[in-house]
Structure 1
Amino acid sequence: MGNNKKNKKTSVNISSQIPTQEFVEKFTAAFTDILRNILSSAQHYSKDEFTAK
């Protein structure tokens, strides 16, 4: 019907892309910090406090 070209290539600046290894390292560091905070917070509460009604 129309002349829709789905294979259009978009030019992306290489400098605007984050290298994969750098992304993985930053994501892992942030995730580790968040998980550490969650686990340390969970230690401060007893099971009864969450299940008490």
Structure 2
Amino acid sequence: MLHYAIVFLVIALIAAVLGFGGIAGASAGIAKILFLVFLVLFIASLIFGRKRL
């Protein structure tokens, strides 16, 4: 999931450099959402994945 967030971020940067504002904004929004989902899942796996002694 982090891979997809990075891919959309790169697409947003390239689109912004080329002047495609709408595509850049949409890609940046998708990248933000994917990064937040990745962060939530990562924290959940840290909390619930720990072994109890």
TM-score, length-scaled by structure 1: 0.49
Larger relative helix fraction:
2
Point out the structure with max Rg over C-alpha: 1
Structure number with the bigger relative contact order (C-alpha 8 A, sep ≥ 6) is: 2
